[in-house]
Amino acid sequence: MVRKYVALLRMKYIEMLAYRLATIVWMTGAITQPLITMAVWMNIDPSQSDAFFFYFMAVIFVERMTSAWDVWELDREIREGTFSNYIIRQLHPIHWAIAENVVYKLLFLVILVPIWAVAALFAPALRFDISGGQLLLFLAAVLLGAALRFLLSYTCGLLGFWVTKVAAIYGVLEVISLFLSGRIAPLEMLPPFLQQWSIFLPFRYMIGFPIDIINKAANGDGIMKGFVIALIWAAVFIIVLQFVWKAGLKKNQAVGG
Amino acid sequence: MIEVKHLHKSFRVHVRKAGWLDAVRHLWKREYRVVEAVKDVSFTIEKGEIVGFLGPNGAGKTTTMKMLAGLLHPTSGEIKVGEYVPFEQRAEFKKMMSLVMGQKSQLIWDIPPMETFLVNKAIYDIDDRAFRRTLDELVELLELEPLLTKPTRSLSLGQRMRCELAAALLHRPAILFLDEPTIGLDVHTQEKVRRFIADYNREHQTTILLTSHYMGDVTALCDRIMIINYGQLIYDGELAVLTEKLAPYKRLEVQFAEVPNVRWEDYGEVAEIEDGNVVLRVMREKVAEVSAHFLQHFRVHDINIQDPPMEEVITRAFQEEVPHGS
């Protein structure tokens, strides 16, 4: 399996280099929405400007590290019939997608971390003071968030075996997630009932939860509880994905000649 | 090697009439129709055979092939490829077969074919030596050397198909499914691909099932053909036998100095009459007699006797039920 991953990562890296421009546009384009949202909040409550600045910079970082695009890829591949080429080969197609995620996110990491470090020299609001343990917890939460978003996106993509243009369904989830993950506003600013919901739904663990750790907005108990809930969701997604995969293969029409 | 018994596949298709009103009505009321793509198909293919699978568009050949490759679940019936049931998706099964689809590329589009080859090497656990050996052989047979490092998207269709074949054969599958491997290729490249398939089969005893629209592929490669139409296998046997059964006539082309005024129907079926050139379909046993008669009684510039073109034979087969061949 290690050899297979080495080969897939290498190939995805070469492929990414072939898409240099698209990759850069894609990365910078995703920054716009959090920046505008940040400007809006700063305007509403100028006294909290620094906090908003830190929060939304963290949103940009975490959002890029956990972003998932697999639903669009699968939607297209299943609809056009090219997915067949993955099914017939001796390796589950999900590994191709995992390798792609790893390559792109490593790229985001090596670009975003130095940018943050340099920016922190000039903007004190970006500096943070946490222990090594907390940093590890933050990274673990980011990883878990990436896994959750990936699993949800991939599972939705597999629904393409039943529905054409399945990305529309995922679009609805994205809108819900916009609010409940903390992308539009820090979760503590949501109405209490939404805050309650967000704790038990998976979306918070895709973006808001890691930020709460680095922000020190979550205490030890909250962090523990968060990891447990996120892990339960990950397990649920894995089970659903396997079920959808098996049922999907039965349903597969392998379109196209 | 391949055993298929009473194979059925039906699809539920959503029916929709054209027009706005119907489009709106279908938002809440959907009608479905069951289409039987494959009906009670049975056959066996032995190791090392090359079998041509023919049929008009939508006849069920690709559907059958996809079931053999494990992409589609049969509605009922049995399929065994080697010792495996394809739709169970066992790793051992995937390692022993390969599927090449003329219209669906497995090569990664924006990077050179060599990268796909390296990924396949890892996926199929091919060791370095075996990979080198196989690759060298394929590069030579398919003349791939100059193509290996160009991005796939910049290759011509023919170049891509040659790389496609190489990618499919790197793990030395015992069974190769070829779905329209020569589609869209020019005559010269078609010929190249055919020669490669024939040589490869002879060299490695690979079992090959091939679908094609081009009669040339079939006549050049397959001794045995299966014809499928409306989902049913209507012929399974030797190509030569089919020709005799369906075309008990020869094509007699005569160039007269002056077209005689006779009833051509007395000699055979008229295919074409134009400027002194007459083409007749004459029953095999009467060919000698009819040509002798023409030469004796009329001024003939040229005379030419041929077997009917394969296209004509197959088109007939598609139109009528053919008794099973030997």
Residue B202 lies in a domain: yes
Residues B187 and B274 in one domain: no
**A125 to A37, A119, A120, A129, A131: CA distances (angstroms):** 17, 10, 7, 11, 18
Among A82, A89, A98, the strongest candidate for a mutation testing the B interface, having the largest count of B CBs within 10 A, is A89
Q: What is the pLDDT of residues A31-53, one digit of tens each?
A: 888 999 999 999 999 999 999 99
Residues B205 and B257 in one domain: no
Closest chain B C-alpha to A240 CA, distance in angstroms: 19
Residue B311 lies in a domain: no
CB A61 within 8 A of CB A210: no
Give the position of tokens 């369904």.
Answer: A169
Residues B118 and B232 in one domain: yes
Question: What do you get for the CA distance between the two ends of chain A, in Å?
Answer: 32
Q: What is the pLDDT of residue A256?
A: 58
Q: Where are the beta strands (DSSP E) in chain A?
A: none
Residue B26 lies in a domain: no
Residues B222 and B262 in one domain: no
Degrees to nearest 5, angle at CA B263 with B259 and B269: 95
The enclosing domain of B296 has a CATH number of: 3.30.70
Residues B191 and B236 in one domain: yes
Domain limits at B75? 45-243
Residue B24 lies in a domain: no
Q: What is the pLDDT of residues B208-217, one digit of tens each?
A: 999 887 777 8
Q: What contacts B283, CB < 8 A, 6 or more positions away?
A: B248, B249, B268
Q: What is the pLDDT of residue B174?
A: 94
pLDDT in tens, chain B (326 residues): 999 999 999 988 877 777 777 777 777 777 788 888 999 999 999 999 999 998 887 888 889 999 999 999 999 999 999 999 999 999 999 999 999 988 888 999 999 999 999 999 999 999 999 999 999 999 998 999 999 999 999 999 889 999 999 999 999 999 999 998 888 888 888 888 899 999 999 999 999 999 887 777 888 899 899 988 889 998 899 988 887 777 788 889 999 888 888 888 889 888 888 888 899 989 888 899 999 999 999 999 999 988 777 677 777 777 765 555 44
Contact: A88, B99; criterion CB under 8 Å: yes
Residue B209 lies in a domain: yes
What residue in A sits closest to B168 (Cα-Cα)?
Answer: A89
Cβ of residue B186 closer than 8 Å to a chain A Cβ: no
Residues B54 and B165 in one domain: yes
3-state SS class at B237: strand
Q: What is the pLDDT of residues A163-208, one digit of tens each?
A: 888 888 899 999 999 999 999 999 989 999 999 999 999 999 999 9
CB B221 within 8 A of CB B210: yes
Cβ of residue B62 closer than 8 Å to a chain A Cβ: yes
- Closest CA relative to residue B267, chosen from B256, B283, B255, B253: B283
Among A9, A73, A82, A90, the strongest candidate for a mutation testing the B interface, having the largest count of B CBs within 10 A, is A90
Contact: A4, B104; criterion CB under 8 Å: no
Q: What is the pLDDT of residue A164?
A: 82
Question: Buried b / exposed e across A114-141, counting CB within 10 Å, b at 16+?
Answer: eebeeeeeeeeebeeeeeeeeeebbeeb
Last residue of a domain, one of B202, B226, B243: B243
**B150 to A100, A191, B46, B112, B155: CA distances (angstroms):** 22, 57, 38, 5, 7
Residue predicted with more confidence, A72 or B306: A72
Residues B234 and B204 in one domain: yes
Rounded to whole angstroms, the Cα distance separating B209 from B48 reads: 10
Give me B297's structure tokens.
């009684």
The enclosing domain of B102 has a CATH number of: 3.40.50.300
Q: What contacts A171, CB < 8 A, 6 or more positions away?
A: none
Residue B36 lies in a domain: no
What residue in B sits closest to A85 (Cα-Cα)?
Answer: B106
Cβ of residue B101 closer than 8 Å to a chain A Cβ: yes
Residue B2 lies in a domain: no
- Chain B residues with beta carbon closer than 8 angstroms to that of A91: 123
What residue in A sits closest to B66 (Cα-Cα)?
Answer: A254
Residues B84 and B167 in one domain: yes
Rounded to whole angstroms, the Cα distance separating B188 from A13 reads: 37
Q: What contacts A25, CB < 8 A, 6 or more positions away?
A: none
**Mean of pLDDT over chain A:** 92
Residues B255 and B202 in one domain: no
Residue B30 lies in a domain: no
- Chain A residues with beta carbon closer than 8 angstroms to that of B66: 84, 254
3-state SS class at A40: helix
Radius of gyration of the CA atoms of chain A, in A? 19
Closest chain A C-alpha to B63 CA, distance in angstroms: 9
With cut-offs at 50, 70 and 90, classify the pLDDT of residue A54.
Answer: very high
Q: What is the pLDDT of residues A201-250, one digit of tens each?
A: 999 999 999 999 998 888 889 999 999 999 999 999 999 999 999 999 98
What residue in B sits closest to A7 (Cα-Cα)?
Answer: B119
Last residue of a domain, one of B222, B243, B264: B243
Rounded to whole angstroms, the Cα distance separating B144 from B193 reads: 12
Last residue of a domain, one of B243, B278, B298: B243
Residues B137 and B273 in one domain: no
Closest chain A C-alpha to B274 CA, distance in angstroms: 40
Query: Considering its fold, how many domains does chain B have in total?
Result: 2
Q: Which neighbouring-strand residues pair with B238?
A: B224
Residues B227 and B253 in one domain: no
Residues B191 and B272 in one domain: no
What residue in A sits closest to B98 (Cα-Cα)?
Answer: A88
Query: Which of A11, A91, A254 shows the shortest C-beta gap to B115?
Result: A11
